[in-house]
A and B are shown apart, each in its own frame.
Chain A
Amino acid sequence: MNAVVARLVVQRLGIMLISLLIVAFAVFFATEMLPGDVAQILLGQSATPQAVAALRTAMHLDQPAILRFVYWLGGLVSGDLGRSYANNMDVAALISGRLTNSLQLAGVTTLFSVPIALCLGITAAMFRGSLYDRIVSIVTVSVISIPEFMVATVAVLVFAVYLRWLPALSIADQVHGIGELLRIYAMPVITLSFVVSAQMIRMTRAAVIDTLNTPYVEMALLKGASRRRMVLSHALPNALGPIANAVALSLSYLLGGVIIVETIFNYPGVAKLMVDAVSTRDLPLIQSCAMIFCVCYLLLILIADVIAIISNPRLRNR
């Protein structure tokens, strides 16, 4: 049986790698379609034709796009992300520090949002159709259907403007002491948690309700089990797989949220770096950031898939 699982996981991994290749292709060609000569732009108007030609050769610009794609891909795999156009630094060096910041933000958000979302989702399913369930549903649908920056805006209005607990949009790069650290994280984490939790609550609720509709739960109902017993000891163990799947899937919404949140709160992470790179048209930096995001996203989806396979034996013998 473990061999079957391993084979399925390897298969998913293969699909992920193919997806990643297509993504790399799309990212590379979307950014290479730029009109204008990169070498000319880099060296400026006063460059001699010889210097431009030399740089073109050095950057492989005189070769066909498909070859450059292969060079670029090779570089990515071996950890050479290229040099930034804007400040001529190694992209890898630029990104590494920022990546830790972003991962910290994502980690703290996960720590906060997962327990809260699971509690709300499971209790909402437990009291399906009650006023509580309806309020939770309405709030989650609303949060999902408004843009992330609006959640951030509302958070700022509530916590900074009216309650005056936290600073509005001023976030320093330097941190002194634990209090300041908490204050810096608070706003982005609150915003992101809202965005991610909303998805997670909805999916958790749906997963538990799915198992509530099964014959064995009906049996529990018929034999007179209390609602609590019915949900917690009959439905929940069977819903754990779908719930874990839902958690991993909703965490992939972190990515979209992170781009907006890092921008609005001026948080020094990869997403902010990428948005800045877009405004300076710093292609190697954009390409690398985009690939990092896609890898994270595909990894989360892969984890969700694997959890689904492990938790549901019926998915194994397809």
Chain B
Amino acid sequence: MSSTVSSARGLGLRINIVGAIGAAIILFWVAVAILAPLIAPYPVGKIVAFDYFQPMSSSFWMGTDYLGRDMLSRIMMGARYTVGISLAGVTLACFLGVTLGMIAAVVGGWFDLILSRFLDAFNSIPSLLFGLVIVAGVGSSLTVLIVTLALIYAPGSYRFARALAVNVNAMDFVTVARVRGEGIVYMVREEIFPNIIGPVLADFGLRFVFIVLLLSGLSFLGLGVQPPQADWGALVRENLDGLSYGAPAVVFPSLAIASLTISVNMLIDNLPYRIRDRGE
């Protein structure tokens, strides 16, 4: 059981074609996010065309936006915000949730009970609403966004990790370690975590999708990434007036979000059985 990490990697190679396509699209967007300033054909904030909402053409592959800026360049930079913020948010959420979940499972008792009840209650606030309230109170900045997204999705991650950890916690080798007198940190790091990492990674992916959707939703409402920067949700919002003409400036950012979220789902649904299903 202790070699789960390496065996997961070994299994990961034997992935079917749909999962591979999903992985390829994800890698593509990550690469675009990293390389955006180098490969964008035009400066991002610069007005390059005289006409707004231009259709697709050889010089502007995805048309132009409501000010006549190149859409392709803006979507490339948008990838940075959407992928970057979501990744940071989901990492923080899963780190908090999984750590607390494992500790709660190992410690048990009152600590577990109170934390679980509290986080369950937290979980019962609709996510978009919670985001709205926090952004209304504190204002929107990249840090606030990342922390808010993490706070919204940490309780779910906690619940998931705790359920897994409780099962592992009942196993003999954990009892042995406890009898040996190991501390909480050792138990969590050496005994529990290696045995739940597969499902936790799958959960990480799903939560990433939720966070991308929520971030896009917030930006769409004008409360996420603030102009002049724009993530994909904000790009849709900016160009919403072009919807009536069917302008590509509205369609392409939406397609970008959909391609990212659907490919993450495709990847997770086609992960090797052993990684995915131990959680259920």
User: Are B261 and A169 within 8 A (Cβ)?
Assistant: no
Inter-subunit contact B258/A278 (CB<8 Å): no
Contacts of A278 in B (CB 8 A): 132, 135-136, 221, 223
Please provide the chain A residues from 12 to 27 with a CB less than 8 Å away from any CB of chain B in the complex. Answer: 18-19, 22-23, 26-27
Inter-chain CA distance A162–B244, complex, in Å, is: 10
Rounded to whole angstroms, the CA-CA distance of A32 and B138 in the bound complex is 9
Q: Which residues on the A side are within 8 Å of B15 (C-beta)? A: none
Q: Which residues of A contact B251 (CB under 8 A)?
A: 153, 157
A290 interface residue (CB < 8 Å to B):
yes
Determine the chain B residues whose CB is within 8 A of the CB of A149 once the complex forms.
216-217, 220, 233, 236, 254
Contact B122–A260 (Cβ < 8 Å):
no
Report Cα–Cα, A290/B137, bound state, in Å.
12
Q: B residues within 8 A CB of A30?
A: 133-134, 137-138
Shortest Cβ distance from residue A149 to the other chain B in the assembled complex, whole angstroms? 5
**Interface window among B31-39, B70-78, B100-108, B123-131:** B123-131
Establish whether residues B245 and A294, one from each chain, have CB atoms under 8 Å apart when the complex forms.
Answer: no
Q: Could you tell me the distance in whole angstroms from the C-beta of A274 to the nearest C-beta in chain B?
A: 7
List, in ascending order, chain A residues with CB within 8 A of B132's CB: 259, 274-275, 278, 286, 290
A150 to B117, CA, bound (A): 35
List chain B residues, Cβ under 8 A from A104: none
The complex places the Cα of A279 from the Cα of B245 at a distance, in Å, of 28
How far, in whole Å, are A18 and B213 apart by their CA atoms in the complex?
29
Interface residues of A in 142-167 (CB under 8 A from B): 142, 145-150, 153-154, 156-157, 160-162
CB distance from B206 to the nearest CB of A (A): 10
Contacts of A31 in B (CB 8 A): 133, 136-137
> Size of chain B's interface in residues, with CB distance under 8 A?
44
CB nearest to B245 among chain A residues: A161
Distance of A247 from chain B, by nearest CB (Å)? 18
Q: For B124, give its contact among A23, A33, A161 (CB under 8 Å).
A: A23
Q: Could you tell me if B122 and A264 are in contact, using CB atoms closer than 8 angstroms?
A: no
Which of B118, B126, B244, B258 has a CB less than 8 Å from the CB of A297? B126
* Separation of A295 and B264 alpha carbons in the complex (Å): 33
Contact with B along A283-318 (1 / 0, CB 8 A): 100100010011001100100000000000000000
What separation, in Å, do the CA atoms of A153 and B129 have in the docked complex?
21
Query: Given B137, B217, B222, B265, which contacts A34 in the complex, CB threshold below 8 Å?
Result: B137
CB distance from A127 to the nearest CB of B (A): 20
Q: Give CA–CA (A259, B217) in the complex, Å.
A: 9
Closest Cβ–Cβ distance, residue B249 to chain A (whole Å): 11
Contact A147 B125 (CB under 8 A): no
Which 8 interchain pairs have the tightest Cβ spacing? Answer: A22-B121, A19-B121, A278-B136, A145-B261, A31-B137, A150-B254, A146-B258, A168-B244
Can you sample 18 A-B contacts with CB below 8 Å?
A19-B120, A22-B122, A23-B124, A26-B122, A26-B130, A34-B138, A145-B261, A146-B258, A147-B216, A149-B220, A149-B254, A153-B254, A169-B244, A256-B128, A293-B126, A293-B129, A297-B124, A301-B124
